[in-house]
Structure 1
Amino acid sequence: MEKPIIIFGAKGIAHPALEIFNSHDLVVYGFLDEDESLHKKEINNVAILGNPEDDGYLKLIGKKCEAFVAVDDARYRSSLVKMLNEKRKVQPVNALHRLSYISTDAAIGHGNFINAKVSIGAGASIGNHCILHTNATIEHQAKIGDFVQIGAGAVVNSGTTIGNGVFLGSGVTVVAGVTIGKNARVGAGSVVIGDVEANQTVFGNPAQVVEK
């Protein structure tokens, strides 16, 4: 990756994403964030330049710069990715921490944030635009969809299937072979021993459906 990177978002994972790119000796051109109160401020000497939809900066993407989307909220992250796909015909790059372990037999998509001490096992697959926080473990042959967020220290055991848009809180354990449906949410510290339906929220040990 020879081009400098523009990071979309200046909160949440933006700062650790900058650290990851710096550790690979990659140049971060600047940040773009919709919060105008942050404009002209800096994160570790890198400027927050303006708004993500500013054409003056967008026109750099694909020609002179790469893009990375550092936004925790899955819906907003999805809208920024869609904008980059449609307006600039590009996919965001991955931010892969040097201290992560990714098996040579694992498959990784585009635009993922994979922090320190994340372990991804043989035959596992990670979709696009996922966030894997520090010390998360994805065991062999687990399948992770798109726009999934997995909290620090979570363990996704072998042969599991995690649908698009799923949120797993910190310290969650998903036992082998379980399927978690699209947009489901699992509360921190939960132990998931059975399948979770799409859009359900579960919590506890063992995880139970939280009634709305």
Structure 2
Amino acid sequence: MDKPVIILGAKGIAHPALEIFNSNQVIVYGFLDEDQSLHGTEINEVSVLGSTEDEGFLKLIGKKTEAFVAVDDVKYRKFLVEMLLEVRKVQPVNAIHGRAYVSTDAFIGHGNFINANVAIGAGAKVGSHCIFHTGAVIDHKAEIGDFVQIGAGSIVNAEAKIEEGAFIGSGVTIVGGVTIGKGARVGAGSVVIATVGKNETVFGNPAAKIK
């Protein structure tokens, strides 16, 4: 990546995103965040420059810088991604840690956060704007939709499918071939052995629906 990066968001995954770009010798130009109390502060000597909708900084994106959206909340993450597409005609770049493993045979979309020790296997398909926390494993031929978040140490076994906007907590095991529906939530430490429906929340070993 030749251009420096502006990170949209200065909380949550913003700090590890900075570390990811540092691990790849990519310069971070600065952070933008809607929280005015953060403006003028620094994260590891990189400044929070202003708001995520500050035209003075946004106009740099696509010409002089790239952009990465470091926001955990799915709705706000979608809003910022759509804003970048509409206003700057750009897609956010991927943030892939230098110690992550991504198979040369895997497909990866745009704007994904892939932290240290994540493994993405052969033939896996990963959409865009996903968050993979430390040590998550996406086994071969698994499919991950857009805006999915997968917690630290979770394992998505071979040929499992996780649909758009699903949230998988830390330390979850998803058995091979299982589907996790759109917008579903899986509690930390769960073992999922059967399909989880759209917008359902499950927890436990084996995971059961929470009403």
Structure 2 residue aligned with 1:30: 30
Runs of 4+ aligned residues of structure 1 deviating over 6 Å after TM superposition are none
Which residue pairs with 1:44 in the alignment? Answer: 44
AA of the residue aligned to 1:61 = I
Letter paired with 2:35:
D
Match of 2:179 in 1: 179
Classify the secondary structure of the residue corresponding to 1:7: strand
What is residue 65 of structure 2 aligned with on the other side?
Answer: 65
The structural deviation recorded for 1:24 is: 1.3
The one-letter amino acid of 1:183's match is G
Partner of 2:199: 199
Q: Quote the residue 1:4 is aligned against.
A: 4
CA distance in 1, matches of 2:23, 2:162: 30
Amino acid of the residue matched to residue 47 of structure 2? Answer: A
Structure 1: distance between partners of 2:146 and 2:2: 26
Distance in 2 separating the partners of 1:119 and 1:64? 31
Equivalent residue pairs, number: 211
- 1:116 lines up with 2:116 in the alignment: yes
Find the counterpart in structure 2 of residue 83 from structure 1. 83
User: What does residue 160 of structure 1 align with?
Assistant: 160
The offset of 1:103, in angstroms, is 0.7
- Secondary structure at the residue paired with 2:31? strand
Amino acid of the structure 2 residue aligned with 1:103: S
In 1, Cα distance between equivalents of 2:161 and 2:204? 20
CA distance in 1, matches of 2:166, 2:194: 15
1:101 lines up with 2:140 in the alignment = no
1:19-54 deviation per Cα after TM superposition (whole angstroms, max 9, x unaligned) = 111111111110000011100000000000010001
Query: How far, CA to CA, are the matches of 1:80 and 1:5 in structure 2?
Result: 15
Q: Does 2:85 align with 1:74?
A: no
Q: What's the offset of the Cα at 1:134?
A: 0.4
Query: For the residues of structure 2 that align with 1:76 and 1:4, how far apart are their CA atoms?
Result: 23
SS state at 1:15 partner? helix
- Separation in structure 2 between the aligned mates of residue 85 and residue 160 of structure 1, nearest angstrom: 30
Equivalent position SS for 1:78: helix
Q: Gaps spanning 5+ residues in structure 2: where?
A: none
- 1:140 deviates by 0.4
- Write the distance in 2 (CA, Å) between the matches of 1:189 and 1:76: 27
Q: What residue number does 2:19 align with? A: 19
How many angstroms apart in 1 are the aligned matches of 2:24 and 2:174?
A: 32
SS at match of 1:198: coil
Aligned identity (percent) is: 70
CA shift digits 1:145-171 (9 cap, x unpaired): 000000000000001110000000000
In 2, Cα distance between the equivalents of 1:136 and 1:2? 28
Report the residue type matching 2:84 in the other structure: L
Give CA deviations for 1:151-195 in whole Å, capped at 9, x if unaligned. Answer: 000000001110000000000000010011100000000000000
